């Protein structure tokens, strides 16, 4: 009789503590599961502006320089095995989303670590829309690239810009890259402009799958403000 009423308050005292304890354990287990399974949406990571540095010419004009790499594997995010344009910052980011002023001078420096892929349309081996109608490849000025050594392009249809990227030779040493450099002026109109690689360098029957069909790898956006 009395014994049972004596023990009840003791059990009631333990109850809430046990519930709080269990909630904490469940929350920690959920947090742990989330932390080991979470994969940031790499293509939605719009931070490529870490690749942009701003300087001035002697006449005081601002130059926006974009430093990018083309990697055979981006090595992060949900498609770590996709190839893609990437920043050379640490940590790396997708190198495809940029916010820049309209009517500004942009210089792009690209290190291509990937080998050649045949372009489907050799028209895109012509350098178009850049200042002087040229790019430099390993310091050499080009107006047109041999399609046999093409690997990717940097193509912004609305800017009229198309620049072929040279691939590394098949027998290149690990870590080898080709350096492309070119400049263009952004249009004097604010807006969002898509850009992409035109070489079918992705997966699937026509090479337009995988990194070619998902933003953040072989395509992205210029937002002009």
Residues interacting with Cu ion, by CB under 5 A? 152, 197, 199, 201, 218
In the complex, the smallest distance separating the C-beta of residue 46 from Cu ion, rounded to whole angstroms, is: 20
> For residue 154, what are the CA distances in angstroms to 17, 32, 114, 151?
61, 41, 14, 10
Nearest to Cu ion of 198, 224 (CB atom)? 198
Other CB atoms within 10 A of residue 63 CB = 14
Q: Are 114 and 84 in contact (CB under 8 A)?
A: no
In the complex, the smallest distance separating the C-beta of residue 114 from Cu ion, rounded to whole angstroms, is: 8
* Residue with smallest beta-carbon separation from Cu ion: 197
Nearest to Cu ion of 185, 214 (CB atom)? 214
Nearest to Cu ion of 108, 218 (CB atom)? 218
| Alpha carbon 105 to chain centroid, angstroms | 21
Q: What angle do CA 177, 180, 181 make, to 5 degrees?
A: 145
In the complex, the smallest distance separating the C-beta of residue 179 from Cu ion, rounded to whole angstroms, is: 17
> What is the rounded CA–CA span in Å between residue 156 and residue 42?
21
In the complex, the smallest distance separating the C-beta of residue 199 from Cu ion, rounded to whole angstroms, is: 5
Nearest to Cu ion of 163, 199 (CB atom)? 199
């Amino acid at each position: 009789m009395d014994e049972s009423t004596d023990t009840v308050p003791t059990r009631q005292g333990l109850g809430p503590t046990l519930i709080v304890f269990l909630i904490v354990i469940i929350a920690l287990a959920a947090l742990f599961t989330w932390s080991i399974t979470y994969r940031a949406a790499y293509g939605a990571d719009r931070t490529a502006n870490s690749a942009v540095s701003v300087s001035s010419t002697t006449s005081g004009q601002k130059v926006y320089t974009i430093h990018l790499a083309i990697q055979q594997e981006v090595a992060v995010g949900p498609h770590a095995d996709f190839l893609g344009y990437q920043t050379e910052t640490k940590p790396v980011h997708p190198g495809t989303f940029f916010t820049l002023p309209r009517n500004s001078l942009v210089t792009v420096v690209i290190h291509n670590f990937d080998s050649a892929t045949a372009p489907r349309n050799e028209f895109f081996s012509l350098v178009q829309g850049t200042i002087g109608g040229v790019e430099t490849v390993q310091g050499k000025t080009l107006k047109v690239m041999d399609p046999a050594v093409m690997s990717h392009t940097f193509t912004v249809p609305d800017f009229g810009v198309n620049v072929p990227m040279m691939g590394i030779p098949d027998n290149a040493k690990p870590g080898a890259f080709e350096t492309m450099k070119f400049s263009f002026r952004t249009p004097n109109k604010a807006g969002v402009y898509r850009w992409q690689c035109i070489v079918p360098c992705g997966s699937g029957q026509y090479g337009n799958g995988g990194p070619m069909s998902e933003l953040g790898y072989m395509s992205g956006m210029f937002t002009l403000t």
